[in-house]
Structure 1
Amino acid sequence: MKILLPVDGTELSLHETRFALQLLREGLKGSFVLVNVQEPASFYEMVTADSPELIEGAALEAGEDLMAPSARLLADAGVAYETAVVQGDPAQAMVELIEEHHCDMVVMGSRALGPIRRWLEGGSVSQRLVQSSPVPVLLVPPPVVDEG
């Protein structure tokens, strides 16, 4: 089974990576496509950049840096994985990556957006992916914080 694992370098994405590794320890056989989706360059960045290749290179480097902590967890566990850094709308980019890499499933973190932010953003990325994904999407909630 090939699992798309979108990460953004946050503690939530590390939690998601640990959860995905737990699935393998529990007996699921699979490999991962570790992905980071970068926002496309703004019009201003495109107009003022000396070259579009510089912007693309910076996005690729930023994506690789953000994937590094999760990649280390996978490598330390001896798990096979590929990486991809892409630019664009996150939900749409992930649907394209699912198809391109023939993924069977997505494991991603979900965070609770307030109703105003959800409305402003047109829904969360995870919500939009669940609606458009051709494969099952497993949402990993944030870890429970003990406030006691």
Structure 2
Amino acid sequence: MKILLPIDGTELALHEVRFALRLATEGLKASFLLANVQEPASFYEIVTAHDAAVLETISHSAGQHALQPALDLLHQAGMEAETVVVTGDAAHAVVDLIEEHGCDLVIIGTRAMGLLRKALSGSVAQDLVNASPVPVLLVKPPAEPEPTLDDAE
């Protein structure tokens, strides 16, 4: 089974990688595709850079940097992974990657957002659930640890 893991460089994305690793260590035969989606260059960036190749290089480097901690986690667990950095709308780019790389499953996290923020901004996870041709496994963020007496001091 080929699992696509969208990685945005956050600690929450690493939580999703750990969840995928747990599935693999419990017997799921899986290979992994780590993907980072960079936003397209803004008008300001295009005007000031004067060179599309420079913007592309910077964007690709930022994406590779965001993928590295997830790749390190997989390697530490003895797993290999492919990596890819693309530019565009996150949900649409992930759907394209599913088809291009023959992925069987996407594991993505949900972000804890209030109802108003969710209604105004939408959700990449929700868009992906609606558009994906393969199952999408949503991983809740880890529960916040309870404050201890030591934390209060």
TM-score between both structures, scaled by the size of structure 1: 0.95
2:126 counterpart of 1:127:
yes
In structure 2, the residue matched to 1:72 is 72
In structure 1, the residue matched to 2:81 is 81
> Which of the two has higher C-alpha Rg?
2
Superposition RMSD in Å: 1.0
Are the counterparts in 2 of residues 113 and 124 from structure 1 also a CA contact under 8 Å?
no
SS at match of 1:113: coil
Identity %: 59
CA distance in 2, matches of 1:87, 1:117: 24
Deviation, 1:25, is 0.5
Are the counterparts in 2 of residues 39 and 89 from structure 1 also a CA contact under 8 Å?
yes
Deviation, 1:80, is 2.1
In structure 2, the residue matched to 1:31 is 31
CA distance in 2, matches of 1:61, 1:105: 26
CA distance in 2, matches of 1:73, 1:103: 20
CA distance in 2, matches of 1:136, 1:73: 24
In structure 1, the residue matched to 2:151 is none
Q: How does 1:7-26 map to 2 (within 5 A)?
A: 7-26=7-26
In structure 1, the residue matched to 2:141 is 142
Are the counterparts in 2 of residues 110 and 140 from structure 1 also a CA contact under 8 Å?
yes
Deviation, 1:14, is 0.8
Number of aligned residues: 147
In structure 1, the residue matched to 2:59 is 59
Runs of 4+, deviation exceeding 2 Å: none
SS at match of 1:40: coil
CA distance in 1, matches of 2:87, 2:49: 17
The residue type paired with residue 87 of structure 2 is: Q
CA distance in 2, matches of 1:137, 1:6: 11
Q: How does 1:98-137 map to 2 (within 5 A)?
A: 98-121=98-121, 123-137=122-136
The residue type paired with residue 125 of structure 2 is: S
CA distance in 2, matches of 1:131, 1:112: 19
TM-score between both structures, scaled by the size of structure 2: 0.92
The residue type paired with residue 62 of structure 1 is: A
User: Which whole-Å deviations, capped at 9, do the CAs of 1:40-74 have from their partners, x for residues lacking one?
Assistant: 10112112212001111111000010111000001
Deviation, 1:145, is 1.4
SS at match of 1:145: coil
CA distance in 2, matches of 1:43, 1:119: 27
